[in-house]
Each structure stands twice: as C-alpha cells, then as structure tokens.
C-alpha cells in the first residue's frame, strides 16, 4: 500500500446513462495517486459493457489511475460499498455515485487536508445540479458544530481506510439510511473529523433515480424506525449518541421523513408511522423537548430554512395539528393505494 493513495469506490447499477460522465470526471483529477474500483452490482442493462468500452478507449487513464472493473451478482449498494472497502489498497477511501461527477481538483483538495492534519474523516460540501447543469442547491461547510451532519451521504467525504477496518465500520443493508448509519457510526468512533469549504462534488438530481422515489411514500418495507433503533443499538459511544447534536439530528431526521413521505400515503399509514417514530423518540430520548437547539438557538451551521421547517412541524405536532393536516393534504392530493 502506498501511503498517499486515494481509493475511489464507484458502485454501478443500471447506470449506463451517466456513468461515462462520472468516470471521465475521475480521469480528469489533478491528484495522481488514485485507485479506482468500479463495482458493477449485477446491472441488467449494458452498464458493464459501456464501462469496459470506455476503459479501452482511454488506456492511458486506465493505467495511470489503476482502474479495476469488477462484476458481481446484485447485492445492493450497502454490500457493494463494503466490498469496495475490503478491496481498497489506499490509505484513504472515498465514494462517488454513478450519476454524479467531481470537479478536477476534488481529490487533491481532500487529500491535501487529510495528509496535512492526519484526520480520520474529511467532509466537504457539494453542489446539486440538474439535467440543464443549473445549480439548484449549494451546501458549504466551515467546520462549525453541526456541519458534519449536513452531508450524510458517503460522498463528499474521505475516510482513513485503517480507521474504518479497525473499527469494523460498514454500511448497513437497508431500504433507507444506509449512509446515515455508516456516518453516525464513523463519527462516534473519532474526534479527528474536519469539515472543509469545498463544493467540488456535484450531486446530480436524477428524476428517474430510485433514491428520489422510494422514500416519497410510507412503505412497509422502508422502516426509518428500525434504522434509528439499529443506530442506537450499534453505537457503543453512548455519550456521543446522547449529545445535543446527535439528538437534534435524530429529531430532524424524523421530521424530514414524515414531511417527505406523507403525500403519497394513506391517512392510516401516516398515523401508524407517526406513532412508531414518536414512541421511538420518547424511548431513546425521553427529554428531547429540552434539547437546547429546540429552545435557544439553531445548531451552528444548520440551514435556516431546514431549521424553520423542523420547528414548524414540531410546533404543529405539539398542538395536535400536524397529523390531521397531513391526512387532509393527502386527501386533497390523492394517495397511492
């Protein structure tokens, strides 16, 4: 293992439409010591052939970047990323999603910070772009108290590989939140985390992506309550888990899930999920209503709009209005039977 190598793990599943742009952006990196591990997760389209053709077209990049293309039976993104970690040889690992792309200085900026400060985790911001290349959202970090919770995907992070393997930090195979589980677990094991002001990661808004639709309705196979229970169970550092920042993040996550998922759901499903998540919150954080970020000020770094939405939802819920309001909206807009 060369000490300054960065291993990029790129899972692919039916990604032929955007995968060429993604890989080319990795080829254009100014940082030279890159290992690229492309894992085709049993694609049913011709993603593998498209990638193979691309690698043959650019042999100098393939040799230069130490590219490995591996085809596996479908096992889901969590297990695929875990496989990538086990195969990686670099000192640091990072993840890129198949629809996304990175600016040419992305790897160099992250590795400069990692090598300079010997951090276990470096996390940065991103730009969200649509099909017209318009920026529809920009998130910048500044190493504030809540910054690391603003980007809970595994991309826009680099992780010291030995830190992940020695602490057995893996993605949880789950229909929801496998990346939230991974990062909460990782954050709980170290204080050597640095947030940087970098927006070189370009998160593509793909209207056709499963991740943009699978959580848009309450689904019996998508269980945020089970995810949060598993996080609480698996995090050994209970002081971290009970910190004001993590408690607020859990409250925020529950609010986000209810608001994102209710429109396509039946009133009964909304009521049941609301009850499950509220019960979980009181079981794990019985004094959550006294969280200082709900009483005194928003967490430093938290988006003001997101904070306002969370506070509005909680206020409506407190007076018993949130549930009937969501049911009424569902009745007006229709729901998926």
For residue 126, list its beta bridge partners. Answer: 139
**What is the H or E stretch that residue 149 is in?**
none
How many whole angstroms separate alpha carbon 221 and alpha carbon 214?
A: 10
The 10s digit of each residue's pLDDT in 175-200 is 899 999 999 999 999 999 999 999 99
Please tell me whether residue 105 adopts helix, strand or coil conformation: coil
**Predicted local confidence at residue 328, as pLDDT:** 83
In percent, the amount of the chain with pLDDT more than 90 equals 80
The full set of domain ranges for the chain reads 6-212, 224-333
**Predicted local confidence at residue 131, as pLDDT:** 87
How many whole angstroms separate alpha carbon 164 and alpha carbon 117?
A: 18
Q: Are strands 101-102 and 201-204 parallel, antiparallel or unpaired?
A: antiparallel
Which segments in the chain show pLDDT lower than 50?
1, 210, 212, 334-337
Alpha-carbon distances, residue 165 vs 93, 270, 273 (angstroms): 11, 39, 35
Which pTM was predicted?
0.93
Question: For residue 334, with 0-12 CB atoms within 10 Å meaning exposed, 13-18 middle and 19 or more buried, which class applies?
Answer: exposed
**Predicted local confidence at residue 331, as pLDDT:** 63
**What is the H or E stretch that residue 136 is in?**
strand 135-139
Please tell me whether residue 181 adopts helix, strand or coil conformation: helix
The beta strands (E) that lie in 66-109 are given as 67-72, 92-95, 101-102
**Predicted local confidence at residue 117, as pLDDT:** 87
**Predicted local confidence at residue 208, as pLDDT:** 62
CATH number given to 6-212: 3.90.550.10
């Amino acid at each position: 293992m060369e000490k300054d190598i960065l291993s990029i793990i790129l899972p692919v599943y039916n990604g032929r439409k955007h995968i060429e742009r993604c890989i080319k952006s990795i080829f254009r990196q100014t940082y030279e010591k890159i290992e690229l591990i492309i894992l085709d997760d049993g694609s049913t389209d011709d993603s593998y052939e498209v990638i193979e053709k691309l690698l043959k077209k650019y042999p100098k990049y393939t040799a230069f970047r130490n590219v490995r293309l591996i085809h596996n039976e479908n096992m889901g993104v969590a297990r695929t990323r875990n496989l990538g970690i086990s195969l990686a040889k670099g000192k640091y690992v990072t993840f890129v999603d198949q629809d996304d792309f990175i600016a040419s200085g992305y790897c160099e900026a992250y590795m400069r910070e990692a090598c300079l400060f010997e951090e276990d985790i470096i996390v940065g911001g991103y730009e969200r772009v649509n099909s017209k290349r318009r920026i529809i959202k920009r998130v910048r970090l500044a190493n504030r108290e809540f910054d690391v919770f603003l980007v809970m995907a595994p991309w826009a992070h680099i992780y010291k590989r030995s830190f992940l393997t020695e602490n057995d930090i893996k993605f949880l195979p789950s229909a929801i939140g496998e990346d939230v589980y991974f990062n909460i677990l990782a954050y709980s094991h170290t204080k050597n985390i640095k947030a940087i002001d970098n927006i070189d990661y370009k998160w593509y808004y793909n209207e056709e992506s499963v991740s943009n639709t699978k959580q848009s309705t309450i689904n019996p196979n998508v269980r945020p309550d089970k995810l949060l229970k598993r996080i609480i169970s698996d995090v050994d550092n209970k002081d971290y888990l009970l910190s004001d920042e993590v408690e607020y993040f859990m409250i925020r996550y529950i609010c986000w899930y209810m608001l994102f998922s209710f429109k396509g759901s039946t009133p009964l499903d909304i009521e049941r999920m609301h009850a499950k998540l509220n019960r979980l919150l009181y079981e794990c954080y019985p004094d959550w209503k006294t969280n200082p970020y709900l009483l005194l000020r928003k967490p430093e770094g938290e988006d003001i709009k997101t904070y306002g939405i969370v506070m509005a939802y909680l206020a409506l819920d407190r007076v018993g209005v949130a549930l009937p309001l969501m049911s009424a909206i569902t009745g007006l807009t229709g729901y998926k039977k």
